[in-house]
Amino acid sequence: MPKADYHFPAGFLWGAATAAYQVEGNNKNSTWWAWEERPGKILQGQRSGLACDWWGGRWREDLDRAAEGGQNAHRLSVEWSRIQPTPDHWDEDALERYRAILRGLRDRGMTAMVTLHHFSDPLWVAEKGGWENAQTPELFAKYVRKTVEALQEYCSLWVTINEPNVFAYSGWMEGTFPPGKKNFQLFFRVYTNLLRGHARAYRVIHEVQRHARAGIAQNYRAIRPAGPLYVLDQIPARAVGHSFYEAFNDALVDGKLRMLSLRASVPEAARTQDFIGVNYYTVDMLRFNLFKPGELFGERFFAPGAELSSTGFIANEPAGMWDALKWANRYNLPILVTENGVEDANDQLRPRYLVEHLHQIWRAVNYTWPVKGYFHWSLVDNFEWERGWTQRFGLWGLDPDSQTRIRRPSVDLYAAICKQNAISYDAVEKYAPGSLKKLYPG
């Protein structure tokens, strides 16, 4: 078997991603804290509690571990509910805490990417109607201005909104996120307001910081027709794919949001991306099902024989990463893989998942596609929204009760990749031998 290393370009960003609500703990002013208090909304009735205790300062040790592991970047988010806890009050102490984290990244030689909205809103915003309210985009823009003004010394790489498709779908179609509604018309209204919110935030960021780079992080979940030659499978697959991950990004090109029979004109959203953020985890197969009108008559499932994560939430489909990057490349902008990972408490699948997905990114780079960085989800186990603590995505494990961090073998695999700026044969042989034949055929 030939031995070779897959090298990445100089200056490639290697990091992990976290989200404020999932790691900070005790954010009682957030819509998610209220959601946790409602029976049946979180698996097994679990609570975020201290989460990873970043608000209490444990971010220092976690970022120390990231830096020691060769990571040169980190993606984190800030909480609107902490920075503006009431409509008429800005919390300067909260802003100083975020400045401290960003200073900590700079002191460790790590580039900061800050997400301004990651699934969580202040309670007072929700009481005004949340993203159903046409005034919320302007409220969001005011929060963005205050935050960017406060943090601009330490960050110039911004994600305005994380996964607007997942946020809107889960909250207003599936009902698993707050506010727990199931209404397509409301979903489209929210999606339109998120587009307006991004557009306003993008322009505010560039007014405050002219050299900034800003964009969204979109979840790309490839949808493949179960019968590629069967038109009844193809039609819902195309409709679901366009609605789920294409419509929003297309609107950032021409200012027109198109979804099934609905249309919205948001001209201020045109040309408001400086990069494409891609969150990729897995691939769905889809077959026509007359009894699923709420899912556009498509039934989703994983390919037979696919290697599944410990709870069956993710299938290991590295080729889907190639599809995601191919999709992103059509926008002719720099690409950042802003999330990618697998829930795997025993760290059995993660090493193979990691190297096989990174190999697809290496292939894209060698096609001269402008992929500039990779952020693994996640640095440490955290509170996974409606799934609570039942899924473990961290390179580092976490015991939430004792706050003990647990070193998984993938820590050392990812460190070897980050430090060498390459996937080496030796690292694959040591940590993911099951992937040798895939990465080194013949």
Domain ranges of the chain: 6-439
pLDDT in tens, the chain (442 residues): 578 899 999 999 999 999 999 999 999 999 999 999 999 999 999 999 999 999 999 999 999 999 999 999 999 999 999 999 999 999 999 999 999 999 999 999 999 999 999 999 999 999 999 999 999 999 999 999 999 999 999 999 999 999 999 999 999 999 999 999 999 999 999 999 999 999 999 999 999 999 999 999 999 998 888 877 667 778 777 777 777 889 999 999 999 999 988 999 999 999 999 999 999 999 998 888 877 777 777 788 899 999 999 999 999 999 999 999 999 999 999 999 999 999 999 999 999 999 999 999 999 999 999 999 999 999 999 999 999 999 999 999 999 999 999 999 999 999 999 999 999 999 999 999 999 999 999 7
Distance CA 54, CA 285 (A): 38
* Cβ–Cβ under 8 Å, residues 74 and 20: no
Cα–Cα separations (whole angstroms), residue 173 to 1, 168, 180, 288? 50, 7, 8, 20
* Cβ–Cβ under 8 Å, residues 174 and 182: yes
Cα–Cα separations (whole angstroms), residue 390 to 172, 227, 236, 353? 24, 33, 31, 19
Q: What letter represents residue 241's amino acid? A: G
Distance CA 46, CA 95 (A): 29
Helices (H), 255-333: 319-329
pLDDT of residue 232: 76
Distance CA 137, CA 130 (A): 10
Reported CATH class of domain 6-439: alpha beta
Surface-to-core class of residue 92, CB atoms within 10 Å of its CB (0-12 exposed, 13-18 middle, 19+ buried): exposed
pLDDT of residue 177: 98
Distance CA 116, CA 426 (A): 39
Cα Rg, the chain, nearest whole Å: 21
